[in-house]
Amino acid sequence: MIKGFKDFLMRGNVVELAVAVVMGAAMTALVTSFGDAFLNPLITLVTGGAEVGGSFTVNGVEFPYGVFLNGLLVFFLTALAVYFVIVLPMNKLRERFRDHQEVEEELQASEVVLLQEIRDLLREQRQS
């Protein structure tokens, strides 16, 4: 029963689903507040604009490019945090608990392929 639960948790799609939920829900508030507190003022400083995040106007229509830059940076930081906090440790954990039998089967499979290649080469040499 516990082994089945462990197999369920270690299945790839469960981890991907957990990552998606975390990216969509838990980390949004933190990274958005970082963007509002640091990135918007930084974009304002760099662009020299007086408005938060910077913008320009064409024929009376305002284009707030700072909002897009802030969203882009927030997305990148969220993805970076999720990778280093969830994905990388999960991959290491998966490798640690990987059955030794699976490793042996992979080694045997690679040995079988190598032996088949040797067999094929010997057949070619005999036919020549």
Predicted confidence at residue 68, as pLDDT, reads 80
74-79 contact pairs (CB < 8 A, 24+):
74/31, 74/32, 74/34, 74/35, 74/39, 77/31, 77/34, 77/35, 78/23, 78/27, 78/28, 78/31, 79/23
**What pairing do the DSSP bridges indicate for beta strands 56-58 and 61-63?**
antiparallel
Predicted confidence at residue 50, as pLDDT, reads 59
Tell me the pLDDT band of 99, cut-offs 50, 70 and 90: low
Mean pLDDT of 13-27: 75
Mean pLDDT of 49-56: 62
Q: State yes or no: pLDDT of 28 exceeds 60.
A: yes
Domain of 86, in residue numbers: 1-127
Identify which has the larger pLDDT, 47 or 113.
113
Q: State yes or no: pLDDT of 127 exceeds 70.
A: yes
- What's the mean per-residue pLDDT of the chain? 77
Q: d(Cα 11, Cα 128) in Å, to the nearest integer?
A: 49
Mean pLDDT of 38-60: 72
Mean pLDDT of 118-128: 88
Say if CB 44 and CB 53 are below 8 A apart: yes
Domains in the chain, number: 1
Q: State yes or no: pLDDT of 25 exceeds 80.
A: no
CATH code (residue 2) = 1.10.1200.120
**Closest by Cα among 70, 75, 34 to 52:** 70
Q: List alpha helices for the chain, DSSP H.
A: 2-10, 12-21, 27-34, 40-47, 65-82, 88-96, 100-127
Burial class (CB in 10 A: 0-12, 13-18, 19+), 79: middle
pTM for this model (two decimals): 0.49
